[in-house]
Amino acid sequence: MIGIIAGALAWATVAAFAGLVLAHGSIGTGQVYGASAAPAPHTTGAARDHGGDLRRFLVPEPGDAEPRLTSVTADGRLDVAEIAANYQKPSEAISYLMGLGFATGAVRSWIASDGKLVEVDLFRFGTSNGAYSYFRDTVNDDLHRPSSDYSIRLIRSIPGADGEVIEFSKTDKNHYQVSNGLAVRGDVVLSVWTYQSPPQSAQFTESITYDQWTRL
C-alpha cells in the first residue's frame, strides 16, 4: 500500500480502468464503465473552494494516534506521477487522470490507539465533472463486477449516492481485513482505507469517510 502496509495499494478499487492494472494487484477485478464518455453535468452537496493547499482539508488524526508517513511522499502532497507510479502502466494512468483534469492530491495516515491502520487520500480535479467521473468509474467497476471477495453499501448520510463503503472479506498478508470508503464532493474525490483485525467494523470506515466528506 501507499503509506501503511507494503504490498497493498491505496487505490485498489480504481485498478482496472481501461485495462490498467495496479503493480501489486487488487482484491476483485473489473473494468471501468464510461471512462471514455463525456461526463454529464453533475453537482454534489455544496462544497467549499478547494483551491490552494489541499492538505488543509484532510481530517486530522485522533489525538492518541501515531502519525504515519507514506512511502511515496514525505510532506502529504500527491502529484499525478506519484499516483501513476503505483500502476503497471504509469504513462496510461497519467493520461487517464490528466484527461479527467486531475490537479493535485493529499494524503494522511495513522495508527489508531487500538491498532487500526487508516489512510485518507484526497484527489482534486479541475471540475466537479472530472471528479464525479473518477468516482463513478470506480463505483461502476464495483457494482458491475460482483465478487464474493467483497460487499458494497452506500453511505446513507452522504446525499445523492455519492458515498460508499467496500468491505473486503479476505485478510491481507498481515492478517488485516480491509475496507475502503469512497465519496465525492465538488471537485474532490476522497478515499479512506482502513486495516482492522477481524472482525472489521464497516461503521469505523464509514464514520471517517463521512467526517472527511463534511470537511470538503
Region of residue 114 (phi > 0: left; psi between -120 and 50: alpha; otherwise: beta) = alpha
Spatial distance between the Cα atoms of 90 and 161, rounded to a whole number of angstroms: 30
pTM, 2 dp: 0.77
Region of residue 23 (phi > 0: left; psi between -120 and 50: alpha; otherwise: beta) = alpha
pLDDT at 196 over 80: yes
State residue 125's pLDDT score. 96
Give the tens place of pLDDT for each residue, 103-153. Answer: 999 999 999 999 999 999 999 999 999 999 999 887 776 665 556 778 888
Q: Which range, 7-21, 127-141, 171-185, is most confident?
A: 171-185
- Residue that wins the pLDDT comparison between 33 and 95: 95
- Tell me which residue of 158, 203, 194, 153 sits closest to 176, measured CA to CA: 194
- Tell me which residue of 159, 97, 147, 86 sits closest to 124, measured CA to CA: 97
pLDDT at 46 over 50: yes
State residue 71's pLDDT score. 55
Domains of the chain: residue spans and CATH: 12-34+67-214 (3.40.1000)
> Residue 64 to residues 4, 88, 109, 113, 125: CA-CA distances in angstroms?
17, 37, 13, 6, 33
Give the tens place of pLDDT for each residue, 146-163. Answer: 567 788 889 999 998 899
State residue 182's pLDDT score. 95
**Which residue do the cell numbers 495516515 mark?**
109
